[in-house]
Structure 1
Amino acid sequence: MRPHILVVEDDVVTREKLVGYFEREGYRVSAAGDGKEMRALLARESVSLIMLDINLPGEDGLQLTRELRAQSRVGIILVTGRSDAVDRIVGLEMGADDYVTKPFELRELLVRVKNLLWRISLMGSETQSDEGDDAVRFGPWRFDIPRRQLSKDGVPVRLTKAEYELLVAFVAHPGRVLSRERILSLISHRGDGPSDRTIDVLIRRLRGKMEPDPRDPQLFVTVHGEGYLFAAELQP
């Protein structure tokens, strides 16, 4: 079945532009102008990914992101303005998978959609092959970098693109303190660029997913005044 994308955007011109483009790329696309219309459609149909504008009338995209993530694992790409840096960070904290800033290039957005749908399909796969296993193991964790899969005692744990890239950076430098600047250089660069604050948000999210007690982190340790240390002991 074709992936089903839901565009939640109150601007009619932008909404129709996105719907038309992704339909031409072979996707099934639905549209909603606000949270009420979004809920009505989700109650009727299954959706693979939601493209969600932050600046919606009534309930904004951040409120809807929180609601969606509490109820499902659907892919969420936030569409934000360039001046919405704080909103982008809050959106990531609430569980959005990715974001794109206006004015955006449709081809860039298509790449982000394809990558997110691919990651979702990988996490939904129940079969894992250990043949030619390139996974990294530490404690109860198994991190298959080529397949972008993280699991704990065989149970998959979903990572966003940014969380995946951050974990790759740590796994590649175990036992070494990485400054925020160094971490920024190891993850994907964007036109408006991630910030130190973004790194702190992503660290908190990884701790929330991977630490037994995020308030007393044992994997992602803060080294005050210097940065962060990945303290796991990698297994051969």
Structure 2
Amino acid sequence: MPHILVEDGVRLYYEEIGSGTPILFIHPPGMGHIVFRHQQSLSNHFRVIMYDMRGNGKSSPSDRPITIPLLADDVHVLLDALHIKQAVICGYSNGGSIALEFALRYPDKVKMLILIGGFSEVCTTILRYEFLLGIYAAKVGVVSLLANVLAKSHEKNKKEQQELKQYVRLVNKKDLANMYEKGLAYSCTERLRLLRMPILLIYGASDYYMRPYEKLFRKNVPHAKIVYIENARHQIPTKHHCELNGILKTYCIT
């Protein structure tokens, strides 16, 4: 299985397929690269790269407390190991926080920044509650319950639900709690104005609790383009993959 070493004893599992413009997908805590399985068909147009963050899926547990900057630095090491000078960086949900931090730290490495249901901070009650539930599940050891919730909310097919459920269960509980805690505290809103690369924000038209975050982006990065997917909520990479893949091809093929 392909791994790259980011620190002594810490290896990241990754998969890549296709050729052309590199597009790297960053998953939310716990879910692993498998949440982007429906994006593999983009390999007909891009060099698709998916990976498991440290502590997730087939990657090693972290050897030190996780921070968002640390996870962003892991992305940098991964791209360097794959000899990629510049890539489209695509983060889903809280994976978008890592994508944002990477873009702020390494702007020359980002051809385009894409956030799917992204946010620059947690500032609403509903989203804060979701993070607190994740922290609770990790700390009291009910990751199986969290895995069931994530699987059923993301996949319609029973087989794919089971596969996603099993993959979430691979997560290191300590790292998962750490990721949720750091994700809850993270904010880059005040630095958004520093972003100069093309930015694409993709939201479900029915994902109403994300609307306050759209406003933050509109105010701080007015050059960002926003695309809505009709009849979609938050689980876009899985439940609305056809629409998402079409959008990515439209905006990223040059």
Taking CA–CA contacts closer than 8 Å with sequence separation of 6 or more, which of the two structures ends up with the larger relative contact order? 2
Please report the TM-score for the alignment, with normalisation by the length of structure 2. Answer: 0.32
In our comparison, the structure showing a higher alpha carbon Rg is 1
Q: If the length of structure 1 is used for normalisation, what is the TM-score?
A: 0.34
More helix by share: 2
